[in-house]
Structure 1
Amino acid sequence: MKQLEIAIELRKEGKLQESNEILINLANAHPNDSIINYQCAWSFDVLGLEKNAVLYYEKAISIGLPDKELRGAFLGLGSTYRVLGQYKKSKEVFEKGLAKFTQDRAIKVFYAMTLYNLNEYSRAMEILLYNLAQTSSDDNIKNYKKAIEFYSDKLDEIW
């Protein structure tokens, strides 16, 4: 669909409002197109209009998306709920995303932020420390990788 490609290109060029307007029109014309709904949600997110994004993310997920877009939709919706202060909904969305995409580190990191907001500090730190140890290219982190991983879920233990 040519209009969808134009809207995505406009977003890439930083013409966020123009992109959003096209995507709103496309979503109205094609309400059951999951990709359009996903792209429309994303367009609201980049404008800082998270409340407007929720409905489009939810619709895109419920209609069904290819895995690449589904990952982005879970991340976008979970993050949107988090910034709106709807932490329990955020947690639910991230847990659904992690059930499908068990190794997705971006979802894990955003999930940890939500856990922090829910005062689940130990679990949040465990996730962050483990992912830091697994992904860091910093030599000093790599030197202590095993220790960081070992202690990631034992922060409250006294030896």
Structure 2
Amino acid sequence: MGVGSVEERIEQGVQLRDRGDIQASIELFNMLIEEEPRNASIHYQCAWSHDALGKEREAIPYYEKAITLGLNELDLQGAYLGLGSTYRTLGEYEIAKQVLLNGMERFPDHNALKLFYSMTLHNSKEHGEAMEILLNLLAETSADKTIQSYRKAIEFYAGQLDKVWEQ
């Protein structure tokens, strides 16, 4: 057993990762997983550290376990995004799409999930749908006055980019 509560030790691992000592954070999280294998938060943080170290494939089982065990809403959003993004970077686009869709279904107002889903659609050669999502996100979230002055037009054309208007 280490020193401090589990929550304090998780925070130590996060601080190690934030300071760039990612391998040490992974080692700490793996030790904590041995002590508390059903703690979803530890699995999530361990996945995040693997991703940060560029070990995406190794991050996957930690993300999946964290989601299965159950996370608080904020961490669950991050886990769906991290897992979907990881599958996307590994070229596993169909799995990435399903993970991100599951996250969007659970958290329909989470714009970053929509953004990563649109990137995955682009990778899957579904450019029209990807652009539609991005344009709608831009119209909904931009504070830029020049974009907001054209918001209705952007939203109107978002799903009709390939349509040619005849006179």
Gaps of 5+ in 1: none
Would you say 1:134 and 2:134 are equivalent positions?
A: no
User: CA RMSD of the aligned region, Å?
Assistant: 1.0
Specify the structure having the higher radius of gyration (Cα): 2
- Which residue number in structure 1 is paired with residue 28 of structure 2? 22
- Which residue number in structure 2 is paired with residue 157 of structure 1? 163
The one-letter amino acid of 2:147's match is I
Would you say 1:68 and 2:74 are equivalent positions?
A: yes
Structure-2 separation of matches of 1:158 and 1:29? 62
Gaps of 5+ in 2: 1-5
Q: CA deviation at 1:5?
A: 1.5
Structure-1 separation of matches of 2:109 and 2:79? 16
Percent identical residues:
49
- Which residue number in structure 1 is paired with residue 19 of structure 2? 13
The one-letter amino acid of 1:32's match is R
Structure-2 separation of matches of 1:57 and 1:93? 11
Would you say 1:32 and 2:38 are equivalent positions?
A: yes
List per-residue Cα deviations over 1:46-80 (Å, max 9, x = no partner). Answer: 11110110000000101111111100000000000
Segments ≥4 residues shifted beyond 3 Å: none
Would you say 1:146 and 2:152 are equivalent positions?
A: yes
Structure-1 separation of matches of 2:51 and 2:33? 15
List per-residue Cα deviations over 1:120-155 (Å, max 9, x = no partner). Answer: 111100000000111112221111111111111111
From 87, 90, 93, the equivalent of 2:96 is 90
Give the TM-score, by structure 1 length. 0.96
